[in-house]
Amino acid sequence: MSDNHAHGGVRRLIIVFFILLVVTAVEVGLGIVKPAFLMGEVFGFTSWLNIIFIVLTLFKAYFIVEAFMHLEGEKKSLRLTIYLPILILIPYLTFILLTEGSYLYGA
Amino acid sequence: MATTTSLEMPQEEKVWGGGNEPMKASYGKLMMWFFLISDALTFSGFLTAYGLMRFKYEPSWPVAERVFTHFPGIEGDQPLLYVALMTFILIVSSVTMVLAVHEGRHNKKTRVGLWMIATIVGGAIFLGSQAWEWYHFIVGDSGAVEVVFSDEMGRQTMRPADAEGNFISLGDLVHGDAAGGHGHHEHFSIEQVRDAFAGGEYQLRQPGKAGMTLDHEASLAMLNSDNAMVIHGANMTRNEYGHQQFANFFFFITGFHGFHVFSGVILNFIIFYNVMLGTYQRRGHYEMVEKVGLYWHFVDLVWVFVFTFFYLV
């Protein structure tokens, strides 16, 4: 695995860089144009555009963590140690926000 | 003899019994990861609190692309462009950092140093850009008025709008639309705003997406009350762009992130200095560069989320 990194490493990093660049450009483009068909409300609290933004952000975050922080080369136990607390606690916090936030709105 | 005893031990004790690295990562690297996990939770707490307040104060919550519209050297409204540039700078500095780590694995001292210097320069440019953005946020753009809205809603930031409900700046209100193009650093008194407002079919409107618009008479009545005031720019107690919480969260979250970038630049510089002294060459490995690299990528990672939740969503 580390041999693989030594040879194809730089090329892969440049590819990841361009992925991040293109995704950011798409986000900025969508943010400036704000296509009308994506602006309608879904699930009662946000728009398709916002959902696209969040999905693209998670996509970018995945590449930063896996490629730049080189988590892809770590042992499974270390990967789980890092991912699990984040993947359990942050969605939980977001759940609280979405339910309680709609309550606060009327208060 | 030690080998024979360990062979008789059950599998778990061989891995977790001490004296080795069960996760194939050094103590320092693990601790950096654990710190980053807790820091990620801190930032997610801030961003969640931001979202909560945004839900609560939706009618007066500023629309980010109407707030950050400046780009150096270009006139007029340029939503998102500047912050896209900042994101680009941070991603590039992340790439140079990972290239430094890469060269470190091959023990190439000079190349590690060069890529680290590039990273430090990238971080410094990002900090400068942030200072520029803060400056424009604090100085203000179109100006607004603060009036007592009602007993429950208290003081509210309201922006003047023309008869069709399009926002206009205080400069356009006082000087008339035709004059256009004057500097946004001009300050107006509440009397100037009252007189100009009374002279046309203007209305007051809340700055949020679903903000309320008051008709001309109701607006004028609020403007004419004693506690109406003009606000220019934003600080910890007044915010011309909309709800006060927006300014406070902006200062706090981008400030906290900027402080991380600042610490990262300092740490990078210390490690760069050690690289050039040959400390890691003598040690035989460049793991310190890797550890500080983890921190630097994390700063980039947080910015990706701040960018989305502050500027895009």
- Among chain A residues, the shortest Cα distance to B33 is held by A82
Q: How many residues appear in chain B?
A: 313
Q: Residue A70: pLDDT above 50?
A: yes
- Is the model more confident about A78 or about B1? A78
Domain ranges in chain B?
26-139+246-312, 144-232
The chain-wide mean pLDDT, for chain B, equals 89
pLDDT at B153 over 80: no
A4 inside 8 A of chain B by CB: no
pLDDT, tens digit, for every residue of B195-227? Answer: 899 888 899 999 888 788 888 988 998 898 888
CB contact under 8 A, B80 and A69: no
Instruction: Say what the pLDDT of residue B91 is.
Output: 95
- Residue B239: what are its φ and ψ, rounded to 5°? -145, 110
Q: Specify the DSSP element, H or E, that contains B147.
A: strand B144-150
Q: A69–B294: do the CB atoms touch at under 8 Å?
A: yes
Mean pLDDT on A68-77 = 93
More confident residue, B154 or B229: B229
Q: Is A9 on the interface with B (CB under 8 A)?
A: yes
Q: Which of A32, A82, A93 sits opposite B79 (nearest CB)?
A: A32
Q: Is the pLDDT of residue B177 over 70?
A: no
Q: Do A69 and B41 touch (CB under 8 A)?
A: no
Q: What is the pLDDT of residue A39?
A: 82
CA-to-CA distance for B179 and B175, rounded, in angstroms? 6
Find all residues with CB under 8 Å of B188, minimum gap 6, and list them: B143, B170, B171, B174, B230
**Nearest residue on chain B to A8, alpha-carbon basis:** B102
On chain B, the residues whose CB falls within 8 A of the CB of A68 are: 94-95, 97-98, 293, 297, 300
Tokens of B169: 């700046």
Residues of chain A with C-beta less than 8 angstroms from the C-beta of B313? 46, 50, 53-54
Question: Any idea which of A33-47, B111-125, B255-269 has the lowest mean pLDDT?
Answer: A33-47
Of B101 and A99, the one with more pLDDT: B101
Please tell me which residue, A102 or B115, carries the higher pLDDT value.
B115
pLDDT, tens digit (0-9, with 9 covering 90-100), for A4-63: 444 568 999 999 999 999 999 999 999 988 888 888 877 777 889 999 999 999 999 999
Which A-chain residues 22-51 have CB contacts (< 8 A) with chain B? 24-25, 27-28, 31-32, 45-46, 50
Check residues B3 and A90 and name the one with the higher pLDDT. Answer: A90
Pick B95 or B186 by higher pLDDT: B95
CA angle B203, B142, B185 (to 5 degrees): 140
On whether any CB of chain A is under 8 Å from the CB of B229, the answer is no
| Chain A residue numbers touching B102 (CB-CB < 8 A) | 9-10, 13
Rounded to an integer, the average pLDDT of B9-38 is 84
* pLDDT number for residue B180: 53
**The length of chain A, given as a count of residues:** 107
Mutate to test the interface with B, among A30, A46, A69 (most CBs of B within 10 A): A69
Q: How far is CA A40 from the centre of its chain?
A: 22
Asked whether the predicted pLDDT for residue A98 surpasses 60, the reply is yes
Q: Is the model's pLDDT at B155 over the cut of 70? A: yes
Interface of B with A in 58-87 (CB under 8 A): 58, 65, 79-81, 84, 87
The reply to whether residue B56 touches residue A17, judged by beta carbons under 8 angstroms, is: no
A100/B308 Cβ within 8 A? no
Distance CA B110, CA B107 (A): 9
What's the DSSP call for residue B215?
A: -
Q: How confident is the model at residue A104 (pLDDT cuts 50, 70, 90)?
A: confident
Contacting residues of A for B41, CB less than 8 Å apart: 85-86, 89-90
**Residue B230 reports pLDDT greater than 60:** yes
- Picking from A9, A31, A90, the nearest residue to B80 by CB comes out as A31
Cβ distance of A53 and B94 shorter than 8 Å: no
Q: Is B297 on the interface with A (CB under 8 A)?
A: yes
Residue A3: what pLDDT?
43
Q: Which long-range contacts (CB under 8 A, 24 or more apart) does B271-280 make?
A: B271/B116, B272/B113, B272/B116, B272/B117, B272/B120, B275/B109, B275/B112, B275/B113, B275/B116, B276/B109, B276/B113, B278/B109, B280/B104, B280/B109, B280/B112
Distance CA A91, CA A94 (A): 5
Query: Averaging pLDDT over each range in B12-26, B209-223, B246-260, which range is the top one?
Result: B246-260
As its CATH architecture, domain B26-139+246-312 has: Up-down Bundle (1.20)
Top pLDDT among A43 and B78 is at: B78
Q: Does A17 touch chain B (CB under 8 A)?
A: yes
pLDDT of residue A107: 56
Check CB contact of B210 with chain A, cutoff 8 Å. Answer: no
